[in-house]
Amino acid sequence: MARFPARGSSVTRPIREKAELVHVLSELGLPQPIEDRTVDEVYFKLGVVIAKWLGEQERVEVEPVAKALLGIAKNLSEVSQRMSWRETGFRTSFEIAVATQIAKYLALEPTIGSTADEFMATFHRQAAQIADVCMVGHDDLVQEAGKKGRLALAWYDDFTTLLLDIAANTGIEPTLRKDRATGARSGWLFDAAQSLETFLYEYMRSPTDEACGKRLERSRKRLGGSARQKASAR
């Protein structure tokens, strides 16, 4: 089901400590000694990836909002009609009686008093305008809900970009291999993903080695030219 884009940005702390990241980056072959600035940047970006994933989980679905706007449009349209008793056009005895009673009790309000008719006329126009806007919004959202939903695991593109940036900044070739005979995954990019996924929430991690390899392949494909410049499949 289509959802609204996540709004705003934030950073969430990775589940492992920054000191552990130093050891992981060392095992991935980064030149020694690893600068504190590099560790801080990678740790921060891991937090951004987690925050983006959390945002995806919390996005509001479009369809219920569209239904709510339709309900508001219908209700306000009906209310507006009830308030239009002074306008020309056919009105039933029931509609006149309802509007008359509303005007009567509005006149008893100290802040309204003798301006009850004017108050109702203004409310009638405003309610009709809001009803129209809500109907337009409903129609737009119905079209939006019919579109293809955002790709699942799109947040993984940011994670893959982080891995490719690490490789590019340290002169490491971000290889990604798959053995044709055994199907086993290997390569620096795969190893880096496996290692750094441990800093993400459990539900964010690839359930299997093959799933991790496919995530990386699909992310690099979606990233397009920028990924091809930073990575080469081996």
Percent helix / strand / coil, the chain, rounded to 5: 65, 5, 30
* pTM of the shown model: 0.60
pLDDT of residue 90: 56
Give the C-alpha separation, 54 to 188, whole Å.
27
Written as one letter, the residue type at 128 is: A
pLDDT of residue 229: 46
Q: Give me the tens of pLDDT residue by residue for the chain, a chain 234 residues long.
A: 455 555 545 668 899 999 999 999 999 999 989 999 999 999 999 999 998 888 776 665 777 888 888 889 888 888 887 777 666 455 678 878 888 898 899 999 999 999 988 898 888 889 888 988 888 888 777 766 655 444 557 789 999 999 999 999 999 999 999 998 888 999 999 999 999 999 999 888 998 999 999 999 999 998 875 544 444 444
Q: Is 216 exposed, middle or buried (0-12, 13-18, 19+ CB in 10 A)?
A: buried
pLDDT of residue 177: 94
Give the C-alpha separation, 93 to 89, whole Å.
13
pLDDT of residue 39: 94
pLDDT of residue 234: 43
Of 8, 121, 112, 127, the residue nearest 58 (C-alpha): 8
Supply φ then ψ for residue 57, to 5 degrees: -70, -25
pLDDT of residue 52: 84
Give the C-alpha separation, 97 to 108, whole Å.
17
